[in-house]
Every structure is written in C-alpha cells, then in structure tokens.
Amino acid sequence: MILRPGTSEDASACGVICFEALKVIASEHNFPWAFPSAEVATGLIRTRLAHPGLGWVIAESEGKVLGSNFLDERSPIAGIGSITVDPAPQNQAIGCRLVRAAIGRTCRRLFPSVTY
C-alpha cells in the first residue's frame, strides 16, 4: 500500500468509499445515512479535493484507492477530517496509516496543533 496526495481524479473512488463506509457504520447503529447517495458524497469530495486549503492523503494498493483522509489547513490549528476506508479491506490498519500521514504532514508544515 502507498500513501499519496489526493488529486481530482480520486473524487469518484473516494466518494463511493465515503458513502459506503459511512453507510455501514450508520446501518450498524441504526443511524440515518450521512449521504443519500454515492453521487452526493462524490460531489462533496470533488469540491474538497479542489479546495487549496485542504490537504489530502490517499491510500492506494495496486492502483485501487482504499481510503482517504483530509486535513484542513486554513487556520493555525490544522484539523484532521473524515477518514474513510473501503469496508472490504477495513481492519488492516489503513485508517491508522492515514492518520499518521496526516499528523506527519502537520509536523512538516509546522502547525502548532492539530484537532480531530
């Protein structure tokens, strides 16, 4: 698995993963879904990927996106945003690696603090 910056080409894969991952969690706890469809989630992801104040980390294996995480860098305190991992490969420390990469980015960019 590699971790790399996100690009606009990642929007569709990340949107589907975001929708499916949050749907699984919501369904397990009998909560309403965060998004009504994968298309709505993809639209949000596409907007966030294009925003210059957000940094993205993508987890990928053999050309397939496994998950993503974004980092809000618009203020002195960075914010680690939604971490979503494809439900199929969950429980393989992908989310953990995404968080570590985001924290590493805050260190390299000299943010004094980070929130989750």
pLDDT tens digit sequence for 3-20? 999 999 999 999 999 999
Closest by CA position to 69, among listed 39, 35, 78:
78
How far apart are alpha carbons 49 and 80 in whole angstroms? 14
Phi, psi of 50, rounded to the nearest 5 degrees: -85, -10
Query: What's the CATH code of the domain at 6?
Result: 3.40.630.30
pLDDT at 81: 85
Average pLDDT over residues 14-35: 95
pLDDT at 82: 85
User: For residue 9, what is the DSSP state?
Assistant: G
Cβ atoms of 114 and 80 within 8 Å: the answer is yes
Question: Is residue 43 one of the residues assigned to a domain?
Answer: yes
Question: Is residue 115 one of the residues assigned to a domain?
Answer: no
Beta-ladder partners of 61: 64
**Radius of gyration of the chain from its Cα atoms, rounded to whole angstroms:** 14
pLDDT at 45: 95
Number of domains the chain contains: 1
Question: Is residue 47 one of the residues assigned to a domain?
Answer: yes
Average pLDDT over residues 17-34: 95
pLDDT tens digit sequence for 71-114? 999 999 999 988 999 999 888 999 999 999 999 999 999 999 99
Question: Is residue 63 one of the residues assigned to a domain?
Answer: yes
Question: Is residue 114 one of the residues assigned to a domain?
Answer: no
Give the predicted TM-score (pTM) of the model: 0.89
pLDDT at 116: 83
Residue 85 lies in domain = 2-109
Question: Is residue 79 one of the residues assigned to a domain?
Answer: yes
Question: Is residue 116 one of the residues assigned to a domain?
Answer: no
Question: Is residue 28 one of the residues assigned to a domain?
Answer: yes
